[in-house]
Amino acid sequence: MVFPGALSRGCDRCRKRKIKCDGRRPGCKRCELYKASCPGYDRPLAFRFHGEPGHSLVRGEPSARRKSVQTLVLSKGSSSYALTHSRLTSLVAARQPQPSFEDESIAFFLQEYCVHPAPGVIGGHLDFLEAMYRDSVRSSCIHPATLAIAYMALSRHYKSSTLYVAARSHYGAALRTVNRDLSVSKRPLKDETLASLMLMGMIEDIECQGQTTKAVHMAGISKLFDVVGHRVLTNVKESSLHSWIFTQMPCRTLGPGGDSHWTVLPGLQANHGFRFSIDTSCAASSARVAHQTSLGNSRGAGHDPKNAMPTKLRPHETTDKRPKNPANQSLISFDSRWTASRWSQFALYLILFFERLSKCSDALLQLETIGEEETQLARATGAISEGQIKAMIHKLCSALPYLMGEVDKQGRPLSVPERQSVIMYHLVWPLSAVIVSSHSTLEQVEDGRTRLNAIRDMYGIKLAYFAPDLARDLMA
Please tell me which of 41-45, 55-59, 95-99 the model is most confident about, judged by mean pLDDT. Answer: 41-45
- Both 122 and 192 in one domain: the answer is yes
Q: Is residue 274 part of a domain?
A: no
Q: Is residue 417 part of a domain?
A: no
Residues ≥6 apart with Cβ < 8 Å to 161: 155
CATH of the domain at 27: 4.10.240
Confidence of residue 301 (pLDDT cuts 50, 70, 90): very low
Q: Is residue 237 part of a domain?
A: no
Q: Is residue 188 part of a domain?
A: yes
Task: Give 381-389's long-range contacts (Cβ < 8 A, gap of 24+).
Answer: 381/357, 382/357, 382/358, 385/354, 385/355, 385/357, 385/358, 385/361, 386/354, 386/358, 386/439, 388/350, 388/354, 389/351, 389/354, 389/355, 389/358, 389/437, 389/439
Cross-strand bridge partners of residue 41: 11
Residue 260, burial from CB neighbour count under 10 angstroms (0-12, 13-18, 19+): buried
d(CA 23, CA 31): 11
- Both 183 and 103 in one domain: the answer is yes
Q: What is the DSSP string of 61-75?
A: PPPGGGSSPPEEEEE
120 vs 328, residue with greater confidence: 120
Mean pLDDT over 330-349 rounds to 83
Q: Residue 33's domain spans which residues? A: 1-42
Q: Smallest Cα–Cα separation from 461: which of 256, 208, 283, 252?
A: 208
Confidence of residue 471 (pLDDT cuts 50, 70, 90): confident
- Among 188, 207, 226, the domain boundary falls at 207
d(CA 242, CA 232): 5
- Both 124 and 203 in one domain: the answer is yes
- Both 196 and 126 in one domain: the answer is yes
d(CA 391, CA 437): 13
159 vs 57, residue with greater confidence: 159
Q: 141-180, pLDDT tens digit by residue?
A: 999 999 999 999 999 998 888 999 999 999 999 999 998 8
Task: Give 204-207's long-range contacts (Cβ < 8 A, gap of 24+).
Answer: 205/425, 205/428, 205/461, 205/462, 205/463, 206/149, 206/152, 206/153, 206/156, 206/460, 206/461, 206/462, 206/463, 207/152, 207/462
Cis? peptide before 26, omega within 30° of 0: yes
d(CA 109, CA 299): 47
Residues ≥6 apart with Cβ < 8 Å to 150: 105, 106, 108, 109, 167
Q: Is residue 418 part of a domain?
A: no
Q: Is residue 141 part of a domain?
A: yes
Q: 62-117, pLDDT tens digit by residue?
A: 544 444 444 444 444 444 445 444 444 544 444 555 557 888 999 999 999 999 88
- Contact predicate 152/160, CB 8 Å: no
Confidence of residue 270 (pLDDT cuts 50, 70, 90): very low
Mean pLDDT over 433-453 rounds to 94
Please tell me which of 237-251, 269-283, 330-344 the model is most confident about, judged by mean pLDDT. Answer: 330-344
Q: Is residue 192 part of a domain?
A: yes
d(CA 343, CA 314): 22
Q: Is residue 462 part of a domain?
A: no
Number of domains the chain contains:
2
- Both 33 and 111 in one domain: the answer is no
Mean pLDDT across the chain, nearest whole number? 74
pLDDT of residue 118: 81
Element (H, E) at 246: helix 240-247
361 vs 275, residue with greater confidence: 361
- Both 38 and 126 in one domain: the answer is no
pLDDT of residue 470: 84
